[in-house]
Structure formats: structure tokens, C-alpha cells
Structure 1
Amino acid sequence: MRLVDRPRLICLIIAAAASLLFALHLDRPGKPVFDEVHYVPAARAMLALDHPANTEHPPLAKELIAVGLGVFGDNPIGWRAMPLLAGAATVAAGFAFLILLFGSVRTALFGALFVAINQTVFVQARVAMLDGFLGAFVIAGLAATIWAARAPTGARAARAALAGLLLGAGVAVKWAAAPYVALACLAILASGRQRPVAGLSAAIVLGLVAVAAYFATFVPTFFYTHDPVVPSDLLALQQRMYAAQTQVLQAHPYQSDWWSWPLMLRPIWYFYELDAGVQRGVLLIGNPAIMWGGLVAILACLWARGRHAIIGGLWVFSILIWAAIPKSLGFYYYYHLSGIFAALACAAGLSLLPPRLRWIEPAFAALAVALFLYFYPIISGGALSDPQDFNRWMWSDSWR
């Protein structure tokens, strides 16, 4: 059997390749990067089951980072090992999503490549923050939703449970995943038009499993040495979390509005200082070919309708979530999921080209790879020549 006829094996190979890409010099910078100053201490507290920390977000991401600390130690590798796996899972999930949607290994391979080199996934896979886990669980959960929607009646509920488990885990990382649970339930209902009872039961299973998965992640917090969570207080805890997440915060130099994220107007310097005697920088910025080209691809997908419109619609949905969420400040890393949809849309949009123009696919991929290599020194924490070296990559004053 040819490799192209074994998509599951290809998916595993893709995950392994992405892991190698993300793992190179994972220990640089050797200091906490951006919000690692919040989440690494929270993971330490979780590993020790000592006390509540970073309680404005659910606990799953901190629990997963704590696993890395427990396996690899309290060092940069330990901080970032589990985010790395989440990044690799995101790339593999992007492949699975596209092959389930289109049945084309070629399109799915291009999509996986674009997700891996879209730079925001690369950076988040090398930083102990929440959004890398969010992307992995949501994209995998949406792929499982497609798998469930196409299942025979007898298998639909089991596959819907898998989708619910993954999406519920996403919510347990960050509440921004909650709308995707509702969307997945609606998708399962819509797929069951011929058998409405089966569709309804599968949607209910998905929703219930998601809720159960979410609350199950709080179990370790019951065993803190100091201030443990009381099970009967779980609902009140959710209210306190909501209040913490919607409080009015003071202005931040890297804040930006949701409408500016697709244009990449305000990327974020996660790190720019001396590290081990060397100037290093980590800039959270998307791949211009994929982020900006993705906007054209999204329009093409929406125009094409059908299966292509699903990807374009997911991007629109992901943006509208942030337009509606009552947060006082926004940041470019909130665009993480939308950027993944833009990368998938690039592959889907290119698949619409007629045969005589299919050469554009590898040409676009080559451009995206070239830009990834161009930005690599300032997304990977590479050694720079001097404190002003960052100017070589600054296409706009707003990037500084």
C-alpha cells in the first residue's frame, strides 16, 4: 500500500516532523518569556498541589505544563515540553481536519505545512502559555466533529463523545473555546437531518461530555494543601473567574483591537534582552504570506461555498467571538485560533485553482517557507548581533 493511501501514518509522520521543528533550541531563551512569568509559577503550584494560582483561567493548561515540569524538571525544557507537544498536535489536527473535509492528501499536506510555518503556532509551541493548548484541543475537536457528523448512526454518539472530550478540554484551557462546543453541537444536529433523533442524541452526548471533561479538570484543585477548592463551591468559582476575566485592566503597550489582528498591525515582543550574554528576541508575528494571503483565501472559500465555506465560516466565527467577548484589553495572541483557520484556508483556497494553475500551490508554499526562514532568528530566540539588530525585520513602526 502506498504512503498516500495511509493518512493515519502520514498524520503521525507530520506530528513527528513538527515536533522536531519546534524542539530545535527549545531551551532558548533560558529565561521566562512573556506570560511564562504567570503560568510557570502556577504550574509549579499545581505540581506541588500547594495553593491556587492564576485562578482567572481554568486549570488544564497549568496541569499540563506541570506534567512537563515533573518529567523534565523546572527548567526551560520542562516549561515548554508540553506546549511543544500541543503545537505538534495542532499541526497534525490541521491535517486531519482537511483530509476529513476534502479527502485530499495533497490539500491536507499543504494545510499542515502552512499551520506549522505560520509562526504564531511555532512561537506558542515554544512558550509555556495557554493558547498553544487551546489551538490543539479546538482544532482536534473540530476534526472529531466532522468525523462524527459523517459516522454511521451506530458510531455517531461515540465519535461525538470524542469531540466533546477534546472541546471540553479546550474550554478547560481557556473559556474562548466554549463557543466551539455550541457550534459543534449545531453541526452534529445539522448532519442528522435524515435521522433527527440520532443527531439530537449525538449532540447531547457531545455537550454533556464537554461539560464533564471541563469540570473533571478541577479535581486536582480539591487537594491543594492551602485553600483547596471545595466541590460544592465549583459554580461560585466560575462566577469569580468570570469577574476576573472581565475586569477593567490598565492600558498595556501591546494591547490591540480585534479588527487589527488580521492585518497584523501590532505583533508582540515576547522577549528582547540579553540571555546568556547574547542578545535574543522572540516576536509573536504571523507569516505574512499566510496571514495576509489567508484573507484572500478566506474570501475565495466563502465564495466557493460548500465544504470550502466551512473553513471561511470558522475564521469569521473566530473573529466574531472576540468582537463579542467583554474583555477590556485585547492582544494579538488572541488571534491564534483565527490564524490557524487562515492557514487551513490557504490550502483550501489553493485547491480551488484549475489544473493549469496548480503550480501556484508549491510556489506559494515556497514563498511561505522563505518568509519563515527570514523571520526565524526573531521567532526562535536566535542570537542577534546587537540591541538594534531587530530593525532588520521591522516592516512597520507598529511592529517595534
Structure 2
Amino acid sequence: MLERLEQRPLLLAVLIGIAAQLLFTIGLGRPSILNFDEVHYVTAARVLLELSHIANPEHPLLGKSLIALGMLIFGDNPIGWRALSTLAGSATVVGVYAFTHSLTHATRPALFAALFAMLNQMVFVQARIGMLDGFMGAFLVWGGVLFTRAMTSRHAWPLFLGSGALFGAAVAVKWAAIPWVAFALAAFALLKRRGAVPHLSWLPASLAFGAIALAVYFASFAPAFFYAQDPMTLARLIPFQVEMWSLQTQVLAAHSYQSSWWSWPLMVRPMWYFYEPDQGAVRGVLLVGNPAILWGGLVAVLACWWAGVRHRAGVPLTAAILWTFSLAIWAIIPKSLGFFYYYYVSAIILCVVLAIAFHYWRETVKQRDEWFLVLAIALFAYFYPTLAALPLANARGFERWIWLPGWA
């Protein structure tokens, strides 16, 4: 069955998307009240629907506009708050499949990367909450898909411009995507210098990429021009970015869940997004990665670095660089506080790294990728009650899932 599906990659992508959407949608109404940072972003989306005044000014508008669209379609309720997040999660899983296929030109590693993303747990939790990171991740992944396709396609221009638009959309969700725009342009310059991109001219393409990314970013502020109170104006649009910068870089009070960037790969301090009585039972939502994927992925990163440096293997080296860059960003970004959910994009990339490592070392590991997948499924099932806000036995029910002191 699997071998037959491997011969039909588009059908496989559709099936993966359907499976991810079902997984992320079942029980979406739990919890029935605002979950973690939904208190900020759902509230801002409500204000956006009313076009009354600016809210949550430290972030651009696109992510909040998408949450508002879900509420417009499904109502101001848990389904409305989270519906488009589930679509973003499913798009991310399918995007991981497409991106890995673009890198390896093989269906099996693409399939495993997508399954790892579906079982990632961080993707699952972010796909079921009205926050911004899921939207940013989806735009970044698909920006990467179009970028890699553009590097080898005869139809490079539309793909490259589409990539620029998606990277611009990611920035229009959260500024944390800005380094990825710079990374894409630097990668393009390097590939062009090596003569690997015959269908694009460096300067015109780079300028067009930047221009469309900026156009998409600034277009996301369109609703602000219609606020009843203190509407946006063209003259204020650029100064407002300076105001956003000051809000982004302000020094915040200490938080019980804060953690440093170097601790995120080790999962020293996951986060309880929710833990309280709801719908007649104690329920919890724990943002914790799948240990097989997040901890096993670190071994895969080392394996890919080894293959890239010692064997000059380009695809593993690319995967290792992507993950390393994704983490290094947070060592530089001037944030006074860090939180485990900032590791979201890195956790997605780990799924790609794992699949590529298994694919590259396939003669050594044989079919052990399948056994690893079984382990990931088992761990996902084990953590599922605290990922999907299922009823817990009692107020101390969380203790079953506390592996390390920092998880409490």
C-alpha cells in the first residue's frame, strides 16, 4: 500500500492534509474558554471585527485578521477562535511534505517528515489555539517550498515572487519571521554565485522579492485605516513601525514560564497553556514536544552536520543549517523574555531533519525509521489527554505526565 502511494505523491499529499485536518479538528471546542494567549489575540480579533480601535499594537494585523475571519465564519466561540489555526496546522504538515520532497526528490522521506510534523505535539497544540505562531509557521514553510522549487524550475519567476509574498505574509503575522526573509535572500545570492539558479537574475529578482514581501506586509495594515477611533494614515504607517519596535523590545517583568533559548531543544521548561476546571472536569493543555521527535531530532541534526561536513552531502547540510539558524535567531533577537513556544519553527524543521537523516543513512539504519515512527505515535497517544484537554482524574492528574521538575 505504502509503495503504491509513494508513486502518487500528489494523492499522498491530499491524504496527509485530510488526516492532519481531522486530527487537529476533533475536540476543537476544548477548552471552552480562552486558552493561554487567546486572551490577547481573540480579544484583538474582536476589536478588529468591530473596526473600533487599535488593540495588541505590538504585532502586525494579518494573524489577528485570520482569527477574526474564523470568528466571522463560525461565530465568537471556541470553534471560531481556532478554526483557521487548524487549517494553518494542516497546511504546515502538507508544506513539510512538499518541502522535504523538493529537497530529496523522494516520496518516502517527505511522507515521514509530514508524519513527524503531525505527531510533533507542538504543531498539534498550536493548531488548536487562536495564537499567531501557527499562521507564521505555515507561511514560512510554504515560502520555503516555493523558494526551493524556484531554484530549479523553468517557471522560476512566479515561484520566486510567490515565495516573497509568503515570507511577507509571515512577517505580517509576527516580526519573528524577518530573519527568514534575510536568510532566503542570502541563500539565493549564494546559489546564484555558484551558478545553480540559471533562470533568475540576482539583482532584479532580489529587488522584486523584497518589494513584494514589503507590499504584502504593509497591505496587512489595511483594516487599520478604517478604525472608528484614531485610524491609520499613510503618513503614520512608517512611524507606527517604530512604535511597534519599542513595544517589541521593551523590558518585561519576569514570568514563571520564561526560559532561555538554549534550553528549548532540551525541553527543560514546557508550558501549561491551560489547567483548570472546564465543562465539568479538570482539563489541561501542555505545550510539550514529542520526546522522540524533539530529542531524537537533535541526534539527527548532528548526523546531518556530519554528513554535510565530512561527506559534502548538500541536502543533509541544508537541513542542519536551517535548524541551527532557526535557533540562533533567538540568541540575537532583542527579547527581554523567552518562552518555549518560540521554538515552534525549529520544532517543525526538526521533522525535516529527522526524515532526511533517516533517508541519507538508510543503508545503515535500514527500516528503523518505521520503528521510530511507531515510538512517536506511542508517545503522542501517551501525551494526548494533556494536548487535547481531555478530562483528568483530579486536580493532581497532571503529575502522570511530569517527566522533569521543570515540566510542573
Compute the TM-score of the two structures, normalised by the length of structure 2.
Answer: 0.95
Could you tell me how far apart the structure 2 residues matched to 1:258 and 1:151 are? 37
3-state DSSP of counterpart to 1:256: coil
2:165: which partner in 1?
165
- The 8 Å contact of residues 156 and 199 in structure 2, kept in 1 or not, is answered as no
Q: Distance in 2 between matches of 1:151 and 1:81?
A: 34
The one of 235, 248, 251 aligned to 2:238: 235
Counterpart in the other structure of 1:364 = 372
Match of 2:191 in 1: 191
Q: Give yes or no for contact 1:256–1:332 (8 Å, CA) kept in 2.
A: yes
The answer as to 2:300 corresponding to 1:297 is: yes
Report Cα offsets for 1:212-234 as digits up to 9, x if no partner: 11011011110111121112111
* Deviations, residues 310-344 of structure 1 (Å, cap 9, x unaligned): 11101110111100011100000000001111111
Q: Could you tell me which residue of structure 1 aligns to residue 266 of structure 2?
A: 263
Alpha-carbon distance between aligned partners in 1 of 2:133 and 2:365, rounded to the nearest angstrom: 36
Unaligned runs of 5+ in 1: none
Residue of structure 2 in register with 1:67 after alignment = 69
The answer to whether the 8 A contact 1:189-1:196 is kept is no
Q: Select 1:384's aligned residue among 388, 392, 405.
A: 392
Residues 140, 166 of structure 1: 8 Å contact kept: yes
Distance (whole Å) between structure 2 residues aligned to residue 198 and residue 261 of structure 1: 39
Q: For this pair of structures, how many residues does the alignment match?
A: 398
Give SS of 2:201's match: helix
Residue 311 of structure 2: aligned partner = none
What's 2:406 paired with? 398
Change (3 A) 1:144 1:51: same
Task: Provide Cα deviations, 1:144-185, integer angstroms capped at 9, x if missing partner.
Answer: 110111122xx2221111100111000001111111111111
Q: Which amino acid aligns with 1:295?
A: L
Is 1:276 matched with 2:279?
A: yes
1:108-187 to 2 correspondence within 5 Å?
A: 108-152=110-154, 155-187=155-187
Residue 29 of structure 1, aligned match among 31, 34, 45: 31
Which SS does the other structure have where 1:283 is aligned?
strand
Distance 1:354 1:333 in 2: 32
Q: State which of 4, 17, 20 in structure 2 corresponds to 1:18.
A: 20
Further displaced range: 362-371 or 307-316? 307-316
2:250 and 2:106 map into 1 onto residues whose CA distance is: 46
Q: Please state whether the residue corresponding to 2:266 is helix, strand or coil.
A: coil
How far apart, CA to CA, are the structure 2 residues paired with 1:190 and 1:201?
Answer: 15
Q: Deviations for 1:185-223, whole angstroms, at most 9, x for unmatched residues?
A: 122233334349623322222111111110110111101
Aligned-partner Cα distance in 2 for 1:311–1:227: 46
> Could you tell me how far 1:132 is from its partner in structure 2?
0.6
Question: Does the CA-based 8 Å contact 1:189-1:200 persist in structure 2?
Answer: no
Cα distance in 1 for residues equivalent to 2:86 and 2:200 = 41
Name the residue aligned to 1:351: 359
What is the rounded CA distance, in whole Å, between the counterparts of 1:197 and 1:261 in structure 2? Answer: 38
| Cα distance in 2 between the residues matched to 1:122 and 1:7 | 23
TM-score, normalization: structure 1?
A: 0.97
2:212 equivalent in structure 1: 209
Secondary structure of the structure 2 residue equivalent to 1:300: helix
Quote the Cα distance in structure 1 between the aligned partners of 2:169 and 2:66.
11
**Secondary structure of 2:251's partner?**
coil
User: Which residue number corresponds to residue 350 of structure 2?
Assistant: 342
Over the residues paired in the alignment, what is the CA RMSD in angstroms?
1.4
Moved more, 116-125 or 200-209: 200-209
Superposed displacement of residue 373, structure 1: 0.3
Distance in 2, Cα, partners of 1:223 & 1:72: 23
C-alpha contact 2:297 2:353 (8 A) present in aligned 1? yes
Q: For 1:78, what is the secondary structure of its paired residue?
A: helix
Q: Deviations over 1:250-270 (max 9, x none)?
A: 000000000000000000000
Q: 1:16-62: CA deviations, max 9, x gaps?
A: 11000000100000010000000001001111212111010010000
> Aligned partners of 2:9 and 2:204: how far apart in 1?
30
C-alpha distance in structure 1 between counterparts of 2:18 and 2:216, whole Å: 27
**What's the offset of the Cα at 1:368?**
0.5
Larger CA deviation: 264-273 vs 140-149: 140-149
AA aligned to 1:141 is G
Q: What residue ranges of structure 2 are gaps of 5+ in the alignment? A: 309-313
Query: How far does the alpha carbon of each residue in 1:342-371 deviate from its partner, in whole angstroms, 9 at most, with x for none?
Result: 111111111122436322100000000100
Distance 1:115 1:382 in 2: 22
Alpha carbons 1:156, 1:202 under 8 Å: kept = no
Please list the CA deviations of residues 258-312 of structure 1 after superposition, one character each: whole Å capped at 9, or x if unmatched.
0000000000000000001111000000000000000000111111111111111
Paired letter, 1:254: Y
**Given the alignment, which residue of 319, 323, 344 partners 2:327?**
319
1:5 Cα deviation (Å)? 3.3
